[in-house]
Amino acid sequence: MKDKEVVQLKGKVFIYYSCKGLVLRMPLGIEWKSRTQPENKTIIDTYVNRLREIVSSYIKENGCKPSRDFVKSKLKSENTSEKSNLIDYYEEFLSAKRTDIKNGNLKQASLTDFTSLRGALVDFEKKSETTFKFTDISEDFVSRFMTYLQTTRKLNPDSCKKRLNSFKAFLNFCEEKKYFKIGFDWESIKPE
């Protein structure tokens, strides 16, 4: 992170931006002392990346920095908290894949795999009695999900591999959109 993109104010984390003497400090609801925890770091990095994207796009199009109010409105209108859980983001991913099929960039069989993964994630949430967020995604989460697919859903190794590959595609999509950063090695996770 660059200096002054993230600042501390009264023990809280704020996204910071200034232009022509006008300052934007946007609270993230994270305690400053816990900013380095992985889940909090992911949230902060998401906002910083979005801030950078807004500013650089505006500069390319207009040749100058955007106003504080423009940046504030963009950050608020595209606030990642509007989608609060993993399934909300997955719906966006499925919608993009349906568009890919219409455009001839994806086969229908792939959409079937992605739809099957959605059902498995929803069922895994119910069994776990929790609503998953990006902060829950870790190597341990994926391992538990694979175990769930094998033991509870009784999927064979090939089907588990399809779900894992679909999940990788989903997280790669989210990483490209700057919603999430994969922080572990996929290659170490394989269905048994």
Judge whether 1 lies within some domain.
Answer: no
Distance of CA 9 to the CA centre of its chain: 26
Using an 8 Å Cβ cutoff, are 12 and 31 in contact?
A: yes
Residue 47 and residue 90 in one domain = no
Q: How sure is the predictor about 188, in pLDDT bands with cuts at 50, 70 and 90?
A: low
Judge whether 44 lies within some domain.
Answer: yes
Residue 174 and residue 102 in one domain = yes
Output the pLDDT for position 167: 92
Output the pLDDT for position 1: 39
Of the residues 80, 106, 123, which one is the last residue of a structural domain? 80
Provide the mean pLDDT of the chain: 85
Range(s) of the domain holding residue 100: 86-188
Instruction: Indicate whether 119 pLDDT > 70.
Output: yes
Tokens at 112, concatenated: 């079937």
Cα gap 185→140, rounded to integer Å: 11
Q: How sure is the predictor about 106, in pLDDT bands with cuts at 50, 70 and 90?
A: confident
